[in-house]
Structure 1
């Protein structure tokens, strides 16, 4: 059976919110919420934080979390995750699954991880990489450039991701079927190695989205569909209040 390796990339130098991995949410650093929720998923062979920052390492060490130090030259999370996979303490085979669980998703649930893995296990020959794709149900999120929208074909193969409101509509309704990236990505190890072998691409740079590198070079991920739930990422300081308000009704809050 393939190993499942979870890596949580985090860095202090986020352009829109410097220091956000250690910013407190209900008195606990954001990265703590992410790690504690991620480890509720029962199938990990490895789960670790990966970072280039000593402050994050010191916090992880204080909690007993595995921390993998990476180069400080990475500008994309997937490149950091790929380096960390080579240092995770196990031999990673080409068919093993490497999960990137973004460090700014303090409301993620372990069943989201299971959903991200599911297409790779059920359609192994066809699906080598996935992204969790959450339904968009309100126009504000559809118009929000921080929410990366997904265009995919009928088989679930991702064609493009954009900060623009796509697909086009004159008036938004939930029936449009728009989806956004939720920050959990799955890769077979050979596919992640392929990603890191490619130079950063024009559409990746223009949209500030790692996954567009694959599409620019003719490769594909698939969506891992997930229904809407009030689960929010942290892109700016403004999002902290939104997350704290929603987290009070989250059934996982209080379990860690």
Structure 2
């Protein structure tokens, strides 16, 4: 796989997708959006990959939209703007629905659409040096396309503040409101991400996929009879699955399961 805006590597069951436009603060344009959608679709279907790390080169993680791209959009019709926004929306959904767990490695500032990227990931590890900002209203815009993921991550109350004020906030605040799972010193970032990825690849691949789906589909559901039947059916199915049977057998027999090799 070759890309113009990304670097992609696969080693030891882990794919690393690196935003690689450091001179432009890894800002989006139509090419970057298309390549991100393609790579996450391909990696999601790659049986050799059990986890994906989304990283970035340079001092910034992602500054949102590329200024040249924004200048071009200024001349678009309503229909052209809508089609353009849909491509970004579909890319974010591809990351969010990727069957493999996705870990964001946030080494630097993450603004606007970059926050949508991070919020679409499953696990977010940020450097203490990183800053965050939903800057759209400063430009007379709103964070509409990224809002489903960002609001899920930070909650309604935090979104009310940061969508409206466009204040920059630090990594500690990002962790407090739920955007980041872990905040570490810059020199500890790689080791922390590696530890999380190791835990992911040592788990049952089928169970990890099903657990990711479980969270997405159960959240917000009423605890009624239908939900009880749904969850009972899910555990019954996975207990009877090949990896479910192997996992229990390996535990009882005090050996490693077959998916660890």
Q: Which has the higher strand share?
A: 1
Tell me: higher relative CO, structure 1 or 2? Use CA pairs within 8 A at least 6 residues apart. 1
Same fold at TM > 0.5: no
Structure possessing the higher radius of gyration over alpha carbons: 2
Taking structure 1 as the reference length, the TM-score comes to: 0.27
Taking structure 2 as the reference length, the TM-score comes to: 0.27
